[in-house]
Structure 1
Amino acid sequence: MDSTNATDLWDRVVATQPDPATWLVIVTGVVALAAVAPRGLWLITRNAITIAHEGGHGLVALLSGRRLEGIRLHSDTSGLTVSRGKPAGIGMILTALAGYPAASLLGLAGAWLLAAGHITALLWGATALLAALLVMVRNAFGMLTVVVSGAAFVLVSWLAGPAVQALFAYGVVWFLLLGGVRPAFELQGKRRHGGAPDSDADQLARLTNVPAVVWLGFFHVISLCALTGGGRWLLGL
């Protein structure tokens, strides 16, 4: 790729695009809510939140100096991230902490990009993150899930017009913001009935001697604040 083409490509990525009409932004939010609220559909769409969840664990593990062994994504929407390093300490705490807030924080970052008009940057950035995640996935279903997700972003980025790109980007960000809220409530329900004894909240409790309910409350605060702030950005408030 010569310097001229590289410059053109960079200009395309960082360029700003016009926002869709407010009513279209609301429609994408309603569609995203419809993908999150019904239990039957959620059992399928939750896989996307699991990708963000396990990706959050993996990214923070690397940033905190741990060795990332691999990530597995399962058809029941569960996942597992394995890293090597000290069994306790700040690195392990941050790694365990990163999963539940990941989708919400990604949604918040995406809302900020969309509010600034950087639709193309969001689509390409998401594609890059999925490509990086694919390298660390260690099972067939996980690879299939990430490849299909990445392919959707690539196709929209290269083949769709600006209007379709905008609607797709807004729909994805709404889904991350809304879908990031539900897992913490699901975990709360499981723990109420004695389930999920090795959840992220329980691991954090063992690592920090802070009760799991406090960490669960932290997950709620992050997801709800991200939804509120990100929603305001998306709606131009």
Structure 2
Amino acid sequence: MKHETGQLSPAWPARAGFPPQDAVARTRTALLWAVALSLLLAILPWLWPAAAWIAWPQVVVATLVHEFGHGIAALVSGGGFESLRVYADGSGVAMTRGSAGGMQSAWIAAGGPGMPPLLALLLFVAARKETLARATLGVLGMLLLVALVLWVRNLFAAGLVLVCAALASTVAWRASGMLVQAFTGFVAVQLCLATLSRLGGLFQRGARTGAGELASDTMQMAQGLGGPHWFWAALLVLFSLLVLALGLWVLWRSFGLRAEPPAAI
């Protein structure tokens, strides 16, 4: 439909900044379905162990984000990020370089389990607006390609990064606004649940990876900062729960307040 300058589209209210009521309702419904699907994918393997394979994509993507978290934490703390590997069994390892200081080691260890909820918080904020969600997914797609060249060092991880980059970019530039926001919210919930789905690993002293047996992240945090490893595990779980609750509340309140206002009489 062509509109001349100065005319108002019948599908958009006279006051700019407020999308039509039906558009808000459709987007909110899509986000609710995305959240419900995320919860189902997280709970189903516990209720029906034979369906554990359904959660495999979430497991390997969460591992990818987790290992990137270690590398980014190393770079932020003045260390180096040498390489990253993710394996088909859901394990992974990031090779970092830093000083022998306990504080930096603890920071790098915390970067792994801390990265999924931090990225989830960013995606929750981005999901509030279509343009912001598109931009965020597009930037993430490009950053993944940069990371592929700089740090990814095994075939499985390379394929995983390419799939994630292609999916994020395709949704960002080709999907409808409603789908973009729903997908962004879906990924945010999945990242929060990723930490919660690995409770056993967080509360263990050691972790078995494709590179062998290593001290768990929470054990490394305990060695660098003091205290028992289960304290740091509980803190990370609490952080993920708070991000999940806050993100869902922000989304719901945002779409509740952005409805079309009553027309002036």
- Per the normalisation by structure 2, the TM-score is 0.75
Aligned counterpart for 1:66 among listed residues 55, 62, 79: 79
In 2, Cα distance between the equivalents of 1:125 and 1:222? 25
CA change 1:96–1:87 in 2 (3 A) is same
* Structure with more helix by fraction: 1
Give the letter for the 1:137 counterpart. Answer: V
Please state how far the C-alpha of 1:159 moved relative to its aligned partner: 2.3
- Matched with 1:209 is 226
2:188 is matched with which residue: 173, 186, 190? 173
Q: Distance in 2 between matches of 1:155 and 1:128?
A: 12
Counterpart-to-counterpart distance in 2, 1:46 and 1:85: 28
Q: What letter matches 2:140 in structure 1?
A: A
1:177 Cα offset (Å): 2.4
Distance 1:236 1:182 in 2: 27
Give the residue type in structure 2 aligned to 1:26. Answer: L
Shift of residue 144, structure 1, vs aligned partner: 0.6
- CA deviation vs aligned residue, 1:34-81 (integer Å, no higher than 9, x gap): 232233122332111111111111111111111111011111111101
- Paired residue for 1:38? 44
Give the RMSD, CA atoms, in angstroms. 2.2
* Aligned residue type for 1:203: Q
| 37 and 213 in structure 1: CA distance in 2 versus 1, 3 angstrom threshold | same
Q: Kindly provide the amino acid, as one letter, of the partner of residue 83 in structure 1.
A: T
Deviation of residue 116 (structure 1)?
A: 4.7
Instruction: Tell me how far apart the structure 2 counterparts of residues 155 and 178 of structure 1 sit (CA, whole Å).
Output: 24
The answer to whether the 8 A contact 1:25-1:235 is kept is no
**How do 1:153-164 residues align onto structure 2 when only pairs under 5 Å count?**
153-164=168-179
Pick from 97, 121, 133 the counterpart of residue 84 of structure 1: 97
* Match for residue 147 of structure 2 among 104, 113, 133: 133
Runs (5+) with no aligned partner, structure 2: 1-18, 46-51, 208-213, 255-265
TM-score by structure 1 length?
0.83
Contact 1:69–1:83 (Cα < 8 Å) also in 2: yes
Residue equivalent to 2:15: none
Residues 104-153 of structure 1, C-alpha deviation per residue, up to 9 Å, x if partnerless? 11111111122255221221132133223323111111111111111111
1:235 corresponds to 2:249 = no
Higher relative contact order (CA 8 A, sep 6+): 1
* Separation of aligned partners in 2, 1:55 and 1:105: 12
Q: Secondary structure at the match of 1:99?
A: helix
SS in 2 for 1:69: strand
> Counterparts of 1:234 and 1:131 in 2: how far apart (Å)?
29
Cα distance in 2, alignment partners of residues 98 and 195 from structure 1: 17
Where 2:215 maps in the other structure, the secondary structure is coil
Q: How many equivalent residue pairs?
A: 218
What secondary structure sits across from 1:76 in the alignment?
coil
Picking from 64, 67, 87, the partner of 1:51 is 64
What one-letter code is carried by the residue in structure 2 that aligns with 1:36? A
Residues 202 and 216 in structure 2, CA contact (< 8 A), matched pair in contact too = no
Question: Alignment partner for residue 29 of structure 1, among 25, 31, 35?
Answer: 35
Aligned match of 2:13: none
Q: Which stretch of structure 1 is more off in the superposition, 150-159 or 165-174?
A: 165-174
1:121 and 2:138 equivalent?
no
Which of 193, 198, 201 aligns to 1:187? It is 201
Q: Which structure has the greater CA radius of gyration?
A: 2
In the other structure, the counterpart of 1:222 is 239
